[in-house]
Amino acid sequence: MKKLTIYLLSFVIIGFAGCKTKTTINQNEAGEVITDYLKANPEYKTTRFDYGEIKFNSTNDMFELGKYKSLATKGLITLSLKEAKKKFLSKDSSYVYQITLTDKASPLVLKQDNNKATVRVVEYKLSDEKPVDFSQVNSTTAKVTVSLKMVTTDFEPFDKDASKNSNFITKTYKLKLSKDEGWKVQK
């Protein structure tokens, strides 16, 4: 009977020890948690994009029209000339174009209004070169600092705040240990 009690007691202790969640995290696991989080919640920068009926003057707005023509050649928009007022022997002519978004642009469009859309101009991806820097605060929380490299989209020329001081950003995430799901990014 004494042996049976010892066996049962050791079985219960081993069972509880096996159910204990892992409370430590290493650099690779932290990187995987951040990668999974960024797949579900990508980091990006947006801008407002005008479309619909837009008027361009030949001297003033040719650079802007060139940006739209670049998107049209990539198949993200359709650009059709509605009206052209050519002034005789003058540099100031005006052109009215009808600009519409195509299905190919839909992954980059976040919100649409009547004549404006919010589009992604820069996406941030986890950098492979710089390692994940983390520090475990206590047994259930950790702070992870990662380097996210900048990947521009086709709408990047329309970014009005185009001051790019670097091609990456560093971001710190707080990880929390959940008994059910393991390590997760805390929002």
CB-CB neighbours of 146 under 10 Å: 23
| pTM as predicted | 0.72
Cβ(76)–Cβ(154) below 8 Å:
yes
Identify the CA nearest to 187 among candidates 12, 28, 41.
41
Cα pseudo-dihedral 179, 180, 185, 187, rounded to 10: -100
- The domain spans of the chain are 22-186
Mean pLDDT of the chain: 81
Task: Give the pair of three-digit tokens for residue 30.
Answer: 């932290």
CA geometry: angle 71, 77, 79, nearest 5 deg: 95
pLDDT in tens, 40-57: 999 999 999 999 999 988
pLDDT in tens, 99-143: 999 999 999 999 998 899 999 999 988 877 766 777 777 878 888
